[in-house]
Structure 1
Amino acid sequence: MPYAVANARGVVMVDVAKRAGVSQKTVSRVVNNAPHVRPGVRDRVMTAIAELGYHPNVAAQALARNRTHVIGMLAIASDLYGPARRVFTIEQATRRHGFRLALASLPDLERDTVAAGVQDLLGSGVEGIVVEVPNHLVDLDLGRLDLPVVTSAGRIAGVARQAVIDTDQADAARQATNYLLGLGHETVWHLAGPRDWDAARKRLTGWRAALRDAGRRVPPVFYGDWSARAGYQRGLELARRDDVTAVFAANDHMAMGLLRAIAETGRRIPEDISVMGYDNVPEAEFQMVPLTTVGSDESGTAERMLSELVALIEGDEPPEAEIDLGFSLIFRRSSGPPPSR
């Protein structure tokens, strides 16, 4: 079920004033560190601020003076290569555009965590937000904020000014699967990402569509958690099956774990089993058997995301359709024809 961002309206200065039993002007004086406020009154206001979780509207204050040139990013905290690389490339692109990045890194997608992340960004006076969380899991109530948004995680309901920028991951998975079928494999097995990740669903959908369109058997799906460990553990199961000759893994780290599992069971790559990954991480090229994979221009994606967001901040109309930045199949030695029977 989607999670709602807590307190859709947000805590405002008048709420603090009511809780503290003072005027809104007094709250403003405390927030702005004005002199001549009695210590007892200041203490009551500060207590109300802490209890209510109030964040001064830095954006409004800054706009009254001038632009803040701060862009916010809402991202899931992860040491996985894909999410971590996206944060890094967005931060670099933000600097190139003359902005500063305020990052809300979420340890989980619980209601309170997401709400706190959004409030932290608002407290930083952001002029626009990059959303990099699986937003089908979170009801991101960003429409009320009237801020421009750019995302690669799918369109967000209620946001009038947004740009959606991504690779067509379903098509990339379809073409990767078709490539393995074109080598002569009767079917292709799939090592998928977590069931609740949008990227994993898209890649699984593309893989399945390719097999069905080709009239091939659709094998059972093996699920992992994006890690090399999961690839290794599920790879041991796949490698022991005589009917497995080709595997498309939903990311390179699982594919690299799969490579090790296949080698340890005594089967050869690609003579017995072909392996294909997704992401083109830097180490994919330098495995004992270099990994065939799907790649995209991550720096170009970050640059386009920031260009679109800055244009929205400056008043341009949002694009009507999603922006597809393309991908490429990168052929290395982990893929080849099936073994002769």
Structure 2
Amino acid sequence: MADVARLAGVSAQTVSRVSNGYPGVVESTRQQVLAAMKELGYRPNSAARALKRGEFRTLGVILFNMSTTGNMRTLEAVALSAAQEEYATTLMPVTVPSQDEVRGAFTRLGELAVDGVVIIMEVHLLDAAMVSLPPNAQVVVVDSNAGDRYCVVDTDQAGGARAAVEHLLDLGHETVWHVAGPEASFSAERRVETWRSALAEAGREAPEPLRGDWSAESGYLAGQRIAAAPECTAVFVANDQMALGVLRALHEHGRRVPEDVSVVGFDDIPEAASFVPPLTTVHQDFPEVGRRCVESVLRQIRNNAAERGTTLVPTRLVTRASTAPPRGRR
């Protein structure tokens, strides 16, 4: 720093203010200092700055299941939003949903020194592990019902599922079948509950839901059962990947979409518009979820106070060619 100050013809204090981004430095002087830093190859010591400021400008993300579209797009959104705020992101994946794995993830994040944590994980894993959070770290949980203990940011699962079911009923279908996600998933269960209640409110019978694991293969297996049920004219699938499997199964069994069976997905992945036929689906605003997660955790960090409660990001139904009135109603 002394070398930079001599080359730039300023004080070491001015160099310090420029390197730490403090205001109050004349722009011409700041540019002079930056030019000297570049010429000498000087880079501020981030660890020293963290100790001085009492913050690390790093957010930790604990993530279970890196294979699902929703989790990965949420992770991407959090990382991009954090970068816009000049925060780094440290990912701590949990490969096996066990108490030891979850405890280990929190322990390792504590050792890596983070200012806040975004948890993209089913809340029952967090409860069962009885873990302790990193000291002084603020927390946001994604896709959970833990609003009484943590700050939660979630897609409006219920609103999206209701829009899907009501769309199919409004087209004239007598009832709507459902391919659900895994029972351990909070979002899957919220979509199941809303699907069932929407049918009940309309005075319709709810068939037994078919279970998948978010994969196209599990959707294909469920689709084979749907294809073998001639009474099924409409199905709401809990995500677009499983909907892709359902479309394949229906095609192989000679049941046309939407002429014989209407199909609605959930997520609105970029490929949904290129399915055959293009998929009607519920759009989730993953960038907005990520932005609100980062916004909340940074607010907690700056105020040095935890937040509680749930913020819901709205969904919207995107209507494409995979849905139509049933035969006899066209």
Q: TM-score, normalised by structure 1?
A: 0.78
Residue of structure 1 equivalent to 2:285: 297
Structure 2: state its 5+ residue gaps: 1-46
RMSD over aligned Cα, in angstroms? 2.2
Residue of structure 1 equivalent to 2:77: 89
- 1:152 paired with 2:145, answer no
Residue of structure 1 equivalent to 2:220: 232
Deviations 1:231-252 (A, max 9, x none): 1111011111111000000000
Residue of structure 1 equivalent to 2:313: 325
Residue of structure 2 equivalent to 1:25: none
1:187/1:119 CA distance change after superposition, 3 Å: same
Q: Match for 1:242 among 230, 241, 262?
A: 230
One-letter identity of the residue aligned with 2:92: A
Residue of structure 2 equivalent to 1:12: none
Structure 1: state its 5+ residue gaps: 1-58
Q: Which moved more, 1:132-141 or 1:236-245?
A: 132-141
Counterpart mapping for 1:263-302 below 5 A: 263-302=251-290
1:124/1:259 CA distance change after superposition, 3 Å: same
What is the total number of aligned residue pairs between the two structures? 281
In 1, the alpha carbon distance for the partners of 2:269 and 2:314 equals 17
One-letter identity of the residue aligned with 1:141: V
In 2, the alpha carbon distance for the partners of 1:322 and 1:210 equals 23
Deviations 1:45-80 (A, max 9, x none): xxxxxxxxxxxxxx9x95566321111111013222
One-letter identity of the residue aligned with 1:152: V
1:206/1:100 CA distance change after superposition, 3 Å: same
In 1, the alpha carbon distance for the partners of 2:102 and 2:233 equals 43
1:108/1:157 CA distance change after superposition, 3 Å: farther
Deviations 1:260-309 (A, max 9, x none): 11111101110100000000011110012000000022112111110111
Residue of structure 1 equivalent to 2:163: 175
One-letter identity of the residue aligned with 1:176: A
How high is the sequence identity, in percent, across the aligned residues? 36
In 1, the alpha carbon distance for the partners of 2:308 and 2:56 equals 27
Residue of structure 2 equivalent to 1:33: none
Contact 2:148–2:308, Cα closer than 8 Å, also in 1: no
Q: Secondary structure at the match of 1:340?
A: coil
In 2, the alpha carbon distance for the partners of 1:319 and 1:294 equals 29
One-letter identity of the residue aligned with 2:219: G
1:296/1:153 CA distance change after superposition, 3 Å: closer
1:319/1:117 CA distance change after superposition, 3 Å: closer
In 1, the alpha carbon distance for the partners of 2:279 and 2:154 equals 23
One-letter identity of the residue aligned with 2:283: G
- 1:258 paired with 2:257, answer no
In 2, the alpha carbon distance for the partners of 1:205 and 1:296 equals 18
Residue of structure 2 equivalent to 1:187: 175
Q: Secondary structure at the match of 1:101?
A: strand
In 2, the alpha carbon distance for the partners of 1:212 and 1:125 equals 50
